[in-house]
Amino acid sequence: MLTTTFTALIAVVASFAAALPSPAQADAPTRVEEPLSKRTDHYGLGTIYQQLGGYGSCGIQNPDSALIAALGNYWMKNQYQSEYCGRLIQVTNTGSDDGVGGKGNTVVVKVQDTCPSCDENHIDFSVGAWNQLTNNAAWGTVNIEWHFCNVNGQC
């Protein structure tokens, strides 16, 4: 009888241990993201703006050299600290009609501000992001292709 009780006790302990999450499961992200193949690409215009030491609509002060961007109200919804604050965006320069260089350059920027005059596909870039995207071109406009990176930073 002692052997039967001991065997039953081992079976109960083993079943509880099997139900515990493994370390890999415990570290898994809680938000499910779309596979990169299902991301939505946007096509629009890129322009440049200066922070001038001010705070953006996400409540953070960034230098002009930071790789940041401002999205239009289509995304930001006139909200202070919108849900898009901090999201990463991968942007590719697809060329320009007004001589802005850097065609083919890609930059990853963090959303830190709102661009009131931007439509849903227009992004306003900090000086640092603009310089990387356009090879330090003079101010102007550039055609861009862009998409949101997932919350794990995969672009």
What pLDDT score does 9 carry?
Answer: 40
For residue 16, is pLDDT > 50?
no
54-64: pLDDT as tens digits: 999 999 999 99
C-alpha neighbours within 13 Å on the C-beta side of residue 48? 21
- Mean pLDDT (the chain, rounded): 81
Report CA torsion sign: 127, 82, 91, 107: positive
For the CA atoms of 93, 117, 110, 97, what is the dihedral angle to 10 degrees? 10
Secondary structure (3-state) at 32: coil
Q: Could you tell me which of 124, 129, 117, 150 has the C-alpha nearest to residue 47?
A: 124
Structure pTM? Answer: 0.74
CA-CA distance, 94 to 139, in Å (whole number)?
16
CATH architecture of 40-148: Beta Barrel (2.40)
Domain ranges for the chain: 40-148
**Is the Cβ–Cβ distance between 90 and 15 less than 8 Å?**
no
pLDDT for 10 beyond 90: no
> What residues does 113 pair with on adjacent strands?
70
pLDDT over 90 percentage in the chain: 61
What confidence tens digit (pLDDT) does each residue in 71-83 have?
999 999 988 888 9
pLDDT tens digit string along 111-145? Answer: 999 999 999 999 999 999 999 999 999 889 999 99
pLDDT at 38: 59
